[in-house]
Amino acid sequence: MTQVSMTVNGKSVSGDVEGRTLLSSFLRDHLSLTGTHVGCDTAQCGACVVHVNGEAVKSCNMLALEADGADVGTIEGQANPDGSLNVIQQAFQDHHGLQCGFCTPGMVMSAAALLKENPRPTEAEIRKYLEGNLCRCTGYHNIVKAIMAASGQDAGKIAAE
Which residues are near ligand FES by CB under 6 A?
Answer: 38-40, 43-48, 58, 60, 98-104, 135-138
11 vs 69, beta carbon nearer other proteins? 11
66 vs 157, beta carbon nearer ligand FES? 66
119 vs 139, beta carbon nearer other proteins? 139
Ramachandran sector of residue 103 (left: φ over 0; alpha: ψ -120 to 50; beta: rest): alpha
Q: How far is the CB of 102 from other proteins (least distance, A)?
A: 3
**Residue 17 exposure: Cα atoms within 13 Å on the Cβ side:** 25
- Yes or no: say if 72 and 7 are a contact pair by the CB < 8 Å rule: yes
**Residues of this chain that bind other proteins (CB under 8 A):** 18, 20, 28, 33-42, 44-45, 47, 74-76, 78-79, 85, 89, 92-94, 96, 98-105, 108, 123-124, 126-128, 130-131, 133-145, 158-161
Residue 7, number of CB atoms within 10 A of its CB: 15
Q: How far is the CB of 87 from other proteins (least distance, A)?
A: 12
Q: How far is the CB of 119 from other proteins (least distance, A)?
A: 19
Sign of CA dihedral 11, 13, 19, 25: negative
Q: How far is the CB of 81 from ligand FES (least distance, A)?
A: 27
CA 66 → CA 16, 31, 71, 90, distances in Å?
13, 17, 12, 32
- Yes or no: say if 76 and 9 are a contact pair by the CB < 8 Å rule: yes
CA 154 → CA 141, 149, 160, distances in Å?
14, 6, 11
Q: How far is the CB of 115 from other proteins (least distance, A)?
A: 15
Contacted entry of other proteins, ligand FES, none for residue 85, CB cut-off 5 to 8 Å set by kind: other proteins
